[in-house]
Structure 1
Amino acid sequence: MVLTGILLVIVTFIAIIKGYETRLVLFVSGIIMCFIGGNTIAGSDAFIKEFTNAGLVPTICTVLGFSYVMDYTGCSKHMVTVITNVLSKLKFILIFGSVLVTFFVNIALPSAAGCAAAVGTLLIPALISAGVNPKMAAAAVFLGTWGSVMSPGLMFNPQIAQMAGTDVMTVIGSFSVQVLSAAVIAAIILTITAIVKKENTGFVSTEKQASLSTDTFKINYLHAILPVIPLVMLITGSKQIGLTPYVSVPTAMLIGTAIGFIVVRPNLKEATKRFFRGTGDGMCDIVGIIAAAACFTAGMKTIGLTDSLIDVMKNSQHIAQFASAFGPFIIGVISGTGNAAALAFNGAVTPHAADFGYNIISLGSMAQIGAGLGRTMSPVAGSAILIAKIANVNPLELSKRTALPTIIATLVVMFTLL
């Protein structure tokens, strides 16, 4: 049965890489493994359980709802425009700064594609007009789109927090120094690459590329700070800082949404619809894949694959270390999303982290960070395709430039976190 399970897992990830619907593939694979293992109901029970998971569903849905409201009200655009205008005046750190700006925006706007659209349409033209080669300009923005690993709304962080019996901000705080250090190192490596390739200056933009300029956009600075208000509330109210009263992620998102309604005064009917459309998409796109992955990991457990995998990792701590980092990383590179691999790893292996010398938070966080970095090297990632289109370049050119920074960043986090 273990050999059959291994074959099914391989077929599952091949199907995901080939572009088949991830949720369907994970669910069907999980049910088949449960059937072979003699407990078909285990997969469906795990699937259903995630849709009523009090630790995951409210967090993910309210973050998406808030993000949709910020997009509808234009607050996201105001925020990114302010950052872009400041950065364009600091030409000596343009590429380095662009990576980190995108990284931090991606924390507030945890969707990689959404962040790519918000930042890319403003920052890429600014970089090109400053003389940066379009390929490098696009790569700089793309390299920052793994900042979501530090977002309280990213699906993995609430999942890991629940497994560890703690709050989301404690999970994020446990790896924030390592991730921020890796982000800085990755940005430095890309900057050096740009200098070596002579892509950091001297490019003359064409009329088409310059046409994306947003110089005429009128900034409202009050609106610009609204997208980060919930994040500030969560950070200052966290156990590590404690400057303000503690609030949960859903509460922070609801407060941020209410402040947005009061300050911006949009069409309340339409803005409310956008909020609940975001919560619905959160349930569909994120909770749905978590539920399907839970079915898949239940199948791995039932067929005996999980126990065999854990036994192998018990014999070598280094196997667990590299599997957690580069398993999801490689799937992310090939498929453009490492979510399925990271969810499967966290569901099957992470709860047993202590058996091979790690804690749940560290091992689970490494898996999702590896997945995020792998996606940031993938030419088929949705954010890569979108950014490449904005810069009018081939997505593969982005991957060529982000490959070394993402690999080094993964190693940095792996050796400092685990």
Structure 2
Amino acid sequence: MNFQLAMALVIVLGAIYCLAKRYEARLVLITAGLLMAALSLSPMTAFQQFDKSMTNASLIIAICSAMGFAGVVSLTKCDVHLVLLLTRPLGRLGVLLLPAGMLVTSLCAVAIPSTAGLCAAIAPTLIPILVRAGFKPAIAAAAVVCSTTPALYNPGVAHNVFVAKIAGIGVMDLIGLFSVKLLVFSLLVIVGITLVCLIYRDYKKPEAGAAAEAGELKASNLPERVNVLYAVAPLVPVALLIYVSLCTSMKMSVATAMLIGTIYALAVTRSNPAEVTKRFFNDMGKGYANILGIIIAAGVFAAGLRAAGVIDLLINWLTSANEWARVGGSVGPYLMGVITGSGDAAAFAFNEAVTPHAKQFGMTIESLGYLATVAGSFGRLSSPLCGGLILVAGIAGVSPMDIVRRTFPVMLVMLVLAYFFI
């Protein structure tokens, strides 16, 4: 092993340590990439990659517009009307209330793809319903946070846009390739959490009069009555993109669909146009800073790895041992998700550095990129450091570790299934 590779290994281990300690992910990835490029006597490669990543038109348009629309949905309270519309019919289902609640949350996840945003919108409502029905708070919280997998059906999700771009296909084409498998994964998560509930004996039918005692948590974020026109708003862009993709020959960008959804939300809620416009553009900026920022940083990190020769070494190794590509694309992002509480940095870094070379070791770019994406997501849901998990733990009044004890076995099984079936 030469000096460059040895130093690159030390820097990568240091980056993993810093991410595990929850240092700023963008700072860690950019610093590590610059250090590796500098020690390889090729510092300009990192800077050139920074320029290239920060001006990537297709990523900026899709991701920023999706984040702008999400901000508008939150501002106009359309998200909570959607939650109320879907939770009202649940009624008294006994133990079946848990999978029913997860199905409702899964539908909301398609329209509200942010894990933290989804949990903030639905947890204050669903967790009290489940607790009053006889479920322990920990399993109620686990049910909410583990229902986020269907978010990958949303074409505005950054990972969909990123993998589709490096694969050279449309976002809707990528979603279509894995739509059935994603549906199976989503349903299996619901089945898994329900089985964990039964195994842990987390459900006990409440006695008469015990509901008030068990359910002091208030669903105070919901309106008194649901407005169907409001509730439909978060689904408008997704429905438009699906319709145009399947039923017409017309092409529609993610940004166009998000803008139409914003106009619809503004029209039906009759909100202040100036406030809606400000929120849309402010959240577009946050999308660039928080999501594209990680993509840019991951690109610099990958450029440093390439300059140090790590990527060539890794590709040669994966080419001679094809089975390890699938292991690396699943176990790597999963472990990083567990360690850091975020599957984004690991999945983006892996997809930036390794996934474009998937054909050299017997896989397609789409499959390897999607495998890394779902593995990082499963790892995040297995971590007590996950932001959405911490949020639902606070609402339920339990420790994050109480939730992880219920989510971890399910997500580990899902990782194994993803390894074999993606």
Q: What is the TM-score when the length of structure 1 is the normalising length?
A: 0.95
Tell me if structure 1 keeps the 8 A contact 2:131–2:214.
Answer: no
The residue type paired with residue 40 of structure 1 is P
- 1:256-306 per-residue CA deviation (whole Å, 9 max, x = no partner) reads 001111111101111111111110100110111111110000000110001
Q: Which residue of 2 aligns with 1:375?
A: 380
Q: Which residue of 2 aligns with 1:110?
A: 113
The Cα shift of 1:47 comes to: 1.2
Q: Which residue of 1 aligns with 2:218?
A: 212
The Cα shift of 1:169 comes to: 1.0
The Cα shift of 1:216 comes to: 6.3
- Structure 2 distance, partners of 1:378, 1:162, is 29
- Structure 2 distance, partners of 1:50, 1:307, is 21
CA RMSD for the aligned pairs? 1.6
Q: Does 1:270 align with 2:287?
A: no
- 1:7-64 per-residue CA deviation (whole Å, 9 max, x = no partner) reads 2111111101101111011001000111112211111111122221111001110000
- Structure 2 distance, partners of 1:134, 1:65, is 33
Q: Which residues of structure 1 form unaligned runs of 5+?
A: none
SS of 1:274's partner is helix
Residue number among 402, 412, 417 corresponding to 1:412 in the alignment = 417
Q: Which residue of 2 aligns with 1:8?
A: 11
The Cα shift of 1:209 comes to: 4.0
Q: Does 1:338 align with 2:346?
A: no
- 1:98-134 per-residue CA deviation (whole Å, 9 max, x = no partner) reads 2232233222112110111111111111111111111
Q: Which residue of 2 aligns with 1:57?
A: 60
- Structure 2 distance, partners of 1:122, 1:44, is 47
Residue number among 225, 229, 233 corresponding to 2:232 in the alignment = 225
- Correspondence list, 1:17-416, <5 A: 17-202=20-205, 204=210, 207=213, 209-213=215-219, 217-238=224-245, 241-243=246-248, 245-416=250-421
The residue type paired with residue 219 of structure 2 is S
- Structure 1 distance, partners of 2:248, 2:80, is 29
SS of 1:320's partner is helix
- Structure 2 distance, partners of 1:321, 1:205, is 48
Tell me if structure 2 keeps the 8 A contact 1:31–1:40.
Answer: yes
SS of 1:210's partner is coil
- 1:65-122 per-residue CA deviation (whole Å, 9 max, x = no partner) reads 0000001101000001111112345445221222232233222112110111111111
**Residues 1:5 and 1:139: Cα distance change in structure 2 (over 3 Å):** same
Tell me if structure 1 keeps the 8 A contact 2:132–2:214.
Answer: no
- Structure 2 distance, partners of 1:63, 1:158, is 11
Of stretches 2-11 and 53-62 in structure 1, the one that deviates more from structure 2 is: 2-11
- 1:315-368 per-residue CA deviation (whole Å, 9 max, x = no partner) reads 222211111011101110111001111111101100000011111111001101
- Structure 2 distance, partners of 1:66, 1:114, is 13
- Structure 1 distance, partners of 2:212, 2:368, is 47
The residue type paired with residue 48 of structure 1 is D
Percent identity, aligned pairs only, is: 36
**Residues 1:194 and 1:32: Cα distance change in structure 2 (over 3 Å):** same
The Cα shift of 1:208 comes to: 8.0
Tell me if structure 1 keeps the 8 A contact 2:333–2:346.
Answer: yes
- Structure 1 distance, partners of 2:249, 2:219, is 40
Tell me if structure 2 keeps the 8 A contact 1:146–1:376.
Answer: no
- Structure 2 distance, partners of 1:366, 1:87, is 34
The residue type paired with residue 183 of structure 1 is S
Tell me if structure 1 keeps the 8 A contact 2:94–2:205.
Answer: no
Of stretches 209-218 and 293-302 in structure 1, the one that deviates more from structure 2 is: 209-218
- Structure 2 distance, partners of 1:270, 1:330, is 41
Tell me if structure 2 keeps the 8 A contact 1:321–1:414.
Answer: yes
SS of 1:219's partner is coil
- Structure 2 distance, partners of 1:88, 1:151, is 28
The residue type paired with residue 310 of structure 1 is I
SS of 1:55's partner is helix
Of stretches 222-231 and 154-163 in structure 1, the one that deviates more from structure 2 is: 154-163
How many residue pairs were aligned? 415
- Structure 1 distance, partners of 2:177, 2:412, is 21
Q: Which residues of structure 2 form unaligned runs of 5+?
A: none
Q: What is the TM-score when the length of structure 2 is the normalising length?
A: 0.95
